[in-house]
Chains A and B, each alone.
Chain A
Amino acid sequence: MIADTVGQVFRLFPPYILGSAVHYDASWKDLSDYRIATMAGSGINLDKNPWHYTNHGGDFVALFMHFVYWSMILVALEYAGGRKT
Chain B
Amino acid sequence: MPHFYSAYQIYEANQETQQWKFYNWVNMTNQDAVGLYPQFMYEAILKSASKNVTGQELTFKVKNTPFPVTNEVRKRKDQGNAAVIIFMSSVAYGMLLTTITGHVVHERVTGIKHQQLISGMNPFAYWVANFVVDLAKMWVTVAATVICFYYFNLKYHTAWRTYIAFPVGAIPFSYVVSWLYQSVSLSQTITMFLNFGLMLFGSTVIFYLRWMPE
Size bin of chain B's contact surface: 35 or more
Given the contacts A2-B214, A26-B81, A19 and B166 also touching, CB distance less than 8 Å: no
Q: How far is the CA of A50 from the CA of B160 in the complex (A)?
A: 12
Residues of B close to A56: CB separation below 8 A: 158, 161-162
Q: Within the complex, what minimum Cβ distance (angstroms) separates A69 from chain B?
A: 8
Contact with B along A23-45 (1 / 0, CB 8 A): 11111101100100010111100
A66 and B170 CA atoms in complex are apart in Å by 7
Contact with A along B183-214 (1 / 0, CB 8 A): 00000000000111011101110110111111
B residues sitting closer than 8 Å to A (CB atoms) are 71, 75, 78-79, 81-82, 85-86, 89-90, 93-94, 97, 108, 111, 113-114, 117, 123-124, 127, 156-159, 161-163, 165-166, 168-170, 172-173, 175-176, 179, 194-196, 198-200, 202-204, 206-207, 209-214
A-to-B contact residues, CB < 8 Å = 1-4, 6-7, 10, 13-28, 30-31, 34, 38, 40-43, 50-51, 55-56, 59-60, 62-67, 69-71, 73-75, 77-79, 82-85
